[in-house]
Amino acid sequence: MLQPPRSGLTPLSDDAFKLSRWKTAETLVVLDALGDAQPSLSTAWTQLDGRNWRFELRAGVKFHDGTLLTAEQVAASLTAAANAKPKPRILDGVQLSVRTDGGNAVVVTTQTDDPLVPQRLSSPQLSILAASAYKPGGVVSPINAGTGPTSWRPRTAPARQHSTASPTTGARKRRAAASTSNTFPTARHALPPSGPERPTSWRPFP
């Protein structure tokens, strides 16, 4: 049974897993049934050395607020998570920094060698959100700020939200398999959510 949100649905808390299940926010990487990393908002990655990983980003993806997914915003989103207090659980004991590299890639650097960086970046706690999600005082709101196939938008009453399908986001674009040292599948499919947490509108990936 899915529990009610505990932290205002901030992706930096355990509420991130609700956002993932409701398919409102996405990460650079997802895990397949075997726990292997597969593309999501990134199309391919390369381990440059023990501490540095370069992730190429999917082009043409828009956040629910209409802004484009850029390397700068990916770096800002991951940096906000790395600097959060408290840190997301997936980063316990991990010092992580992110910088842009070219027009459509980021380099993720860890303080020590970490072969699990792609797996870490699959955590819903490291979801990539629009700049509008980050409020003063360290508050992070996923409302109208994700890239998933459903979006959370405020109703007329500020304290209530509803979920609507978003036709322009990157989650339903084909998962092209660009590879460097790895080969990835060409598509990812989603099953409709079930139970009381099912959003009011759901649409499958193509």
**What dihedral angle (degrees, nearest 10) is formed by the CA atoms of 26, 38, 100, 62?**
-40
Residue 49: per-residue pLDDT: 97
CA angle centred on 141, ends 187 and 10, rounded to 5°: 75
Residue 192: per-residue pLDDT: 39
List the domain range (segments joined by +) for residue 75: 16-172
Domain contains 11 = no
**Regions of the chain short of the pLDDT cut 70:** 1-22, 152-206
Residue 24 contacts residue 5 (beta carbons within 8 Å): no
Residue 201: per-residue pLDDT: 37
Domain contains 178 = no
Domain contains 177 = no
Residue 95 contacts residue 101 (beta carbons within 8 Å): no
Residue 86: per-residue pLDDT: 82
Residue 28: per-residue pLDDT: 98
Domain contains 160 = yes
Give the sign of the dihedral formed by CA 56, CA 60, CA 65, CA 71: positive
Domain contains 187 = no
CATH, residue 113: 3.40.190.10
Phi, psi of 170 (to 5 degrees): -75, -15
Q: How many domains does the chain have?
A: 1
Domain contains 136 = yes
Nearest to 153 by CA among 63, 47, 42, 51: 63
